[in-house]
Amino acid sequence: MTEQPTTPRTAIVTGGARGIGAAVARRLSADGFAVAVLDLDESACATIVSEIEDAGGTGLAVGVDVSDEAAVQAAVERVAAELGAPTVLINNAGIIRDNMLFKMSVDDWDAVMNVHLRGSFLMTRAAQKHMIDAKWGRIVNLSSTSALGNRGQANYSAAKAGMQGFTKTLAIELGKFGVTANAIAPGFIATDMTRSTAERMGVSFETFIEAVAKDIPVGRAGQPDDIAATVAFLVREDASFVSGQVIYVAGGPKD
């Protein structure tokens, strides 16, 4: 087995204040990474960082809008200065603005593109130089099963399919520097994001989860820790030959 480094590596998790991002931040800390938790609200990030520190880990809370070029640059520089050069980047921040195409506003389209695609581009561009300097890096981008098409999600589906193309290109460009890039495409995961979908549909979250689970081969909804476990594998030292892949984590196969 490849040896783990003696100096802890620094990871950035965007959208790390709750849901999947918070689970990923906790897991990476438990696995020995120093973890920068980035999200819109710095005080919400601080809550997760406190948990990490209470458990014996090291973290940093940084408030940033990932779609803001100057703010992203400053945030990544702050992480490098205060926590160490970031060589792991988890592009997880995301929003939904669902609507049928004929009712979808330009704002709904732009908002989703800006957070997922522009945000991941800006974060990755800012962080990659630290990975190249270190001749080692791990990038994990959050896609979705919606990338395969989903009614009412033309914006989100296009953004999540875009994340897959972005990931494959990163893998091609950065591979020779010891940097891997992979995407995780979750199916239904129980978080505030899916809770808001249940609310919009006028059903309780519990009823929604029960209905969704009936169509999932393993017979249950996904949890944020299911995604954190997959991230944990992809960032390992000995996952260095896995790059440019899209892993569907959906409790069953997807096309």
Show which residues are catalytic. Answer: 156
189 lies in the site for ligand NAP, by CB under 6 A: yes
Rule CB under 6 A: say whether 194 interacts with ligand NAP.
yes
Question: How far apart (Å, rounded) are the C-alpha atoms in residues 76 and 173?
Answer: 21
Region near ligand NAP per CB under 6 A, out of 14-22, 28-36, 73-81, 130-138? 14-22
Chain mean position to CA 45: 15
Taking the complex as a whole, how short is the minimal distance between the CB of residue 168 and ligand NAP, in angstroms?
18
β-sheet with 59-63: strand ranges across: 59-63, 34-39, 10-14, 86-91, 137-142, 179-186, 246-249
Token pair 């709904």: residue: 108
Provide the 8-state DSSP code for 65.
-
When binding is defined by CB under 6 A, the residue of 53, 173, 192, 199 that contacts ligand NAP is 192
Quickly list H helices, 61-203.
69-82, 106-113, 119-134, 154-174, 192-201
Q: How far is the CB of 24 from ligand NAP (least distance, A)?
A: 9
Of 4, 5, 32, 41, the one binding ligand NAP by CB under 6 A: 41
- Residue 65 interacts with ligand NAP (CB under 6 A): yes or no: yes
Angle of helix 69-82 relative to helix 119-134, nearest 10 degrees, comes to: 30
Tokens of 224: 């944020």
To ligand NAP, the closest distance from the beta carbon of 177 in angstroms equals: 25
Does residue 199 interact with ligand NAP by CB under 6 A?
A: no
Examine residue 120 and tell whether it contacts ligand NAP (CB under 6 A): no
Question: Which residues make beta-bridge pairs with 12?
Answer: 36, 89
C-alpha dist (Å) from residue 180 to 2, 26, 135, 166: 16, 22, 11, 13
Binding flag, residue 86, ligand NAP (CB under 6 A):
no
The answer to the question of residue 251 lying near ligand NAP (CB under 6 A) is: no
- Provide, rounded to whole angstroms, the least separation between the CB of residue 115 and ligand NAP: 4
Q: How many CA atoms lie within 13 A of 207 on its CB side?
A: 7
> Minimum distance from CB of 148 to ligand NAP (Å)?
11
137 in contact with ligand NAP (CB under 6 A): no
Instruction: Tokens for 22, please give them.
Output: 């918070």
Q: Is 230 in the site for ligand NAP (CB under 6 A)?
A: no
- Round to whole Å and give the CA distance between 10 and 128: 13
Our CB check for ligand NAP shows the closer of 58 and 114 to be: 114
Binding residue for ligand NAP, selected from 85, 113, 193, 209, defined by CB under 6 A: 193
Q: Which residues are near ligand NAP by CB under 6 A?
A: 14-15, 17-21, 39-41, 65-67, 92-95, 115, 119, 142, 144, 186, 188-189, 191-194
